[in-house]
Amino acid sequence: MEIVVLLAVAAGSGGHILPAITLAYEWKQEQANRRVVFITGNSALEHRIMKQPTAVDHALHLPLAKISLRRWYRLPLFCIQLAHLFLKSLFALWEHKPQRIISTGGIHAIPVCFAAWIMRIPIDVYELNVLPGKAVQILKYFATRLFCVFKETQSYLPKSTLISYPIRHEIKQAHIPLTDLLASINQQHREQPLWLPFEIQRKTIFILGGSQGSQLLNKLIKAFLAEHETFRQRIQVIHQTGAFEEMDWQHFYKHQQIPALTFSYDPLITRYYQCADLLICRAGAGTLFEIAYLQRPCIVIPLLAHTTDHQLYNARAMAEYHPTLFTVITQKEVAIHPEVLFKKIKSILAF
């Protein structure tokens, strides 16, 4: 039987990479003779994701310097790496001979898709946010097909087709009783010296800030616990603290006598969604759609970046789709009046 190859390209964040892996997994499940080649970046996160069991048969990690007005001095390196990535893409396409390219955006996708366009290989581009990213704005000229997951996106990409967000298959299979989930977490971490066991009678708050958006959420949860000491005996916390956090959060929670699980990245994150009585998160599209799929109440604080406010559009659209699940509080509002967040936490948890 002839092997059929799909080449996927996504880099920079889990928000780009994980849905691309899911799309590749779904495509691969249709026939036994299919294999997936994946082009991504060279960061520690990208290597960590690719080391997990996935549908990917072969991964290429290619570096590409981040470029901005503040990092103008890296422009020569960026141009050299961009040209290298284009040449490596041509070689990969010639070597693996994929029948189709898929991409969820990101700067890595531009030279790869340009190489595929030159070689007349069909290209599927997926925009997963309401506002199309800069890469997708370029890729739309090379794309054979365009797909989006928010209906609002079609006003920016009129030729795109509306589809369902590619929910990870482990999320779709997540139907484990809460008692078993908590027992599994306790079993896995019980040997850690700072571990306090999770309890079924406590309310579980899951704080999910991602790699870039965790610092404000970290500050807010610390302030919340300082102002509401009586809640410490009634809650337990699952906390993605972010890759750049230096504080020892596990020690902090132990000092407060709050059962807590802290991490910067965890491939088993899907089971934590099921434990949560409340999620506090940023507005990455994947996070929002997975929370909606599992029907968990959520407070969304969209990340406000220097270059884009796309998360705000994501959050507002999702709150319109699911008004009983999602509460949106802007980053500016919560920075000035954190009590707005604190009141909403108490209201959702019925404290």
On whether both 203 and 332 belong to a single domain, the answer is yes
Query: Are residues 142 and 253 located together in one domain of the fold?
Result: no
DSSP 135-193: HHHHHTTT-SEEEESSGGGGGT-TT-EE------HHHHT----HHHHHHHHHHHHTTST
The answer on 121 and 17 residing in a single domain is yes
201 shares a domain with 330 = yes
137-158 pLDDT tens trace? 999 999 999 999 999 999 999 9
Number of domains in the chain: 2
Residues 160, 269, single domain; the answer is no
Do 37 and 131 lie in one domain? The reply is yes
Which DSSP string do the residues of 52-80 spell out, in sequence order? Answer: SS-S-SEEEE-------GGGGGGHHHHHH
161 shares its domain with 180: no
Q: In a structure prediction context, what are the per-residue pLDDT tens digits for the chain, which is 351 residues long?
A: 578 899 999 998 888 999 999 999 999 999 889 999 999 999 988 998 998 878 899 999 998 877 766 777 778 888 898 899 999 999 999 999 999 999 999 999 999 999 999 999 999 999 999 999 999 999 999 999 999 999 999 999 999 999 999 999 888 876 789 999 999 999 999 999 999 999 999 999 999 987 555 888 999 999 999 988 889 999 999 999 877 667 899 999 999 999 999 988 887 788 899 999 999 999 999 999 999 999 999 999 998 876 678 899 999 999 999 999 999 999 999 989 999 999 999 999 988
Q: Is the pTM of this model over 0.85?
A: yes
Tell me which residue range forms the domain holding 31: 4-166
Q: Are 256 and 335 contained in the same domain?
A: yes
Examine the domain organization and report whether 175 and 97 are in the same domain.
no
Domain boundary, last residue among 101, 135, 166: 166
* Model confidence pLDDT, tens digit, residues 282-300: 999 999 999 999 999 999 9
